[in-house]
Amino acid sequence: MTLTVSVALCTRNGARYLPDQIRSICAQTPLPREIVVSDDGSTDDTLAVVRDTLAQCGMADQIELRVFSNVPPLGVTRNFEQAARACSHELVALCDQDDVWHPGRLARMVAQFAARPDLLLLHTDARLVDGDLKPLGSTLFHALKVQPVELSAIGRGEAFGVLLRRNLVTGATTMFRRALLDTALPFAPEWVHDEWLAAVAAAIGRMDVLPEPTIDYRQHASNQIGARRLTLSEKIAKAFAERGDKHVARLRRAEALLQRLQQLGDRVPARYLEAQHAKVAHQRFRAQLPAARPLRLLPILVEALRGRYARFGRGGHAVAQDLLERG
């Protein structure tokens, strides 16, 4: 029996790009059974464009359309949470308004879930394109500097350890079993929806990755979340930037995940709980570093020798950041 698919499509003033996306969804085999649109206060004709394009594709009778209009807007994470909650089929494909799905995307991903009952979440690479869908000569994984060792670890079932260091999952490329929502809802407000779903999936079961692009991922001025590599000058500027409250925010994120994992009890392996406890301790250490740079040197060296910068962050990059940031 073929697993059925819901599409969770979040929109906000996306009338310009939506026809391409809706047409690419309508060209999939198997077809999704429904598209749940959660619109975050659009002031253009976004919703009319969705309906009209679906009708033009001849799919208005084959794909159920459900629409939520949010006034005032919910914001990205809450918008996706609302859309995901409303999905009724076995698999949920997250969908951005300005991307384009490649032919065969749903078939490729659904087949993985059908063959692997333990698989909870699957994500993929994406081809980076400009606002007019012209390829930029790069992929999402290239922009994120995804390493073969990271992909290999995820494939071996060690995704939780990879995600302890950094997130690699982009929602626009992601499909998950709706059953995951039983433990992932409500989404922690400290987290972005895709990062949260991936972390919970990795903690209680299997998540995996397809290393090939399955969508065109537009990069344009209106992106709420984009993907590109920083230039050298941007990296230097970032290294010497104000510390601000970002380390406190990261601590709050780590604490929120730990709290959810604790609530899930025996569903989470003890080693993952121990690792998340250690992650919280590391983030608290970084948040509490003194403002004066000279006073940070010794404690940072000790923390680095304990291996926590490598285990829970970007290793030497994170060390340099903590040494150089102002304040």
Asked if pLDDT for residue 222 goes beyond 70, the answer is no
- Which class for 174: exposed (0-12), middle (13-18), buried (19 or more C-beta within 10 A)? buried
Q: What is the pLDDT of residue 242?
A: 72
Q: What is the pLDDT of residue 81?
A: 98
Which of 218, 247, 266 is the last residue in one of the domains?
218
Domains: count for the chain: 2
Structural domain that includes position 251: 232-324
Banded pLDDT at 61 (limits 50, 70, 90): very high
pTM check: above 0.85: yes
Which of 171, 196, 218 is the last residue in one of the domains?
218
Which are the contacts of 42, defined by CB distance < 8 A and separation ≥ 6? 11, 12, 13, 14, 15
Which are the contacts of 115, defined by CB distance < 8 A and separation ≥ 6? none
- Is residue 251 included in any domain, yes or no? yes
Which of 218, 252, 284 is the last residue in one of the domains?
218
Specify whether 77 is located in the same domain as 201: yes
| Number of Cα atoms under 13 Å in the Cβ half of residue 260 | 24
What's the whole-number mean pLDDT along residues 158-187? 98
What's the whole-number mean pLDDT along residues 287-303? 96
Specify whether 206 is located in the same domain as 318: no
pLDDT tens-digit map of 176-204: 999 999 999 999 999 999 999 999 999 99
Asked if pLDDT for residue 226 goes beyond 90, the answer is no
Specify whether 190 is located in the same domain as 255: no
- Is residue 45 included in any domain, yes or no? yes
Q: Provide the mean pLDDT of the chain.
A: 94
- Is residue 318 included in any domain, yes or no? yes
Specify whether 237 is located in the same domain as 167: no
